[in-house]
A and B are shown apart, each in its own frame.
Chain A
């Protein structure tokens, strides 16, 4: 039994099984609240807490999947390239908007965390939370944060954008401006929000997709100065 569980095959197959359930539920329930990653997380955590199987066994296979995050992050470079024409045509609003967006995200997180007297581990975990998971995790880890807490915050931001995107666009009087709506969704709720932006319209979707990469890059640049914030 131990040999079977400590084989990498165990971790890989159980991860795929949990994710498959997540994707299936997401299709059935038709709401961004049923996020496949969140569902598989709940299933797996319950499974390991109930069975008491040590996480080390799971990680034999899990680490192999996690390793693939590296080349997967590299391939985001291709989607930035794909959107480059769109960037050139809207240079000032996109670059300016994404820079202000990244700065306001980091700034507001810092301000609130200080107000709440949060410790630096939590602050470092929250600072990169507006950008896509692949970029947020290494930035969190590098500054002494806990990537799993970052992930929770990233999923909250993404789910809020996916569910509330169109409502917020009306509330903040952006609905008449497709470029502003798309960039606001992309900067505040990355890929998860972009799936909703795509449904709102082609221009909103394209702008939101563009914001994932550009906002991510600005946040990476800002992260070089995170150490002065602690």
Chain B
């Protein structure tokens, strides 16, 4: 009985945060996805200790383990866009592949450079 109620409370808490986020995006002066704001809220509530991790943990773990499944119905909607995709197929594939490589390289090099900079700053700090 307690187990069942525990999951119910977790659903209640997480949905309440989503509900707050839904309300908050309507107040923002620019368009912003409610789900992403809810993600930021969950992070901040945990960070400030208002929300305890154990109050949402089981549900959040379940969602992250089954995340890919939740996109299945959405992806089937691709049927409606077959023509548009066929017309732009080469561009979509080419851009997706090339920018994946460039993002990989640029991120990696930036991190390497920043770590070298950090070491240099730390060394200077130690000496003077």
Contacts and interface: CB of A to CB of B under 8 A. Distances in A.
Contacts of B114: 92-93, 96-97
Contacts of B67: 72, 133-134, 191
Contact of B70 (A72, A121, A157): A72
A169 B108 CA distance: 8
Contacts of B63: 68, 71-72, 75
Interface in A110-142: 112-113, 116, 118, 121-122, 126, 129-130, 133-135, 137-139, 142
B95 A116 contact: yes
Contacts of B31: 142
Nearest to A59: B73
Looking at chain B's contact residues, the main secondary structure is: helix
Interface in B93-108: 93-108
B110 A69 contact: no
Nearest to B75: A41
* Residues of A in contact with B, size category: 35 or more
Interface string B59-94: 110011011111111111111110011001001111
A11 B79 CA distance: 16
A142 B96 CA distance: 20
A33 B73 CA distance: 20
B66 to A, nearest CB: 8
A74 B107 contact: no
A7 interface: no
B106 A100 contact: yes
A177 B36 contact: no
B115 interface: yes
Nearest to A40: B72
B111 interface: yes
Given A72-B67, A73-B39, A77-B43, A142 B99 contact: no
A105 B40 contact: no
Contacts of A86: none
Given A108-B103, A112-B99, A126-B95, A179 B111 contact: yes
A180 B111 contact: yes
A174 B112 contact: yes
Given A45-B79, A76-B64, A77-B38, A187 B103 contact: yes
Given A75-B60, A118-B95, A220-B33, 16 more contacts: A18-B72, A37-B72, A40-B75, A45-B78, A49-B79, A65-B69, A65-B73, A93-B111, A101-B103, A108-B98, A113-B91, A147-B77, A156-B96, A184-B103, A188-B104, A216-B36
Q: Which 10 A-B pairs have the closest CB atoms?
A: A77-B42, A62-B73, A138-B33, A101-B107, A75-B60, A184-B108, A74-B38, A97-B111, A73-B35, A77-B43
Interface of B: 11, 14-15, 17-18, 21, 30-36, 38-47, 53, 56-57, 59-60, 63-64, 66-81, 84-85, 88, 91-112, 114-115, 117-118
5 contacts: A45-B78, A71-B59, A93-B111, A187-B103, A188-B100
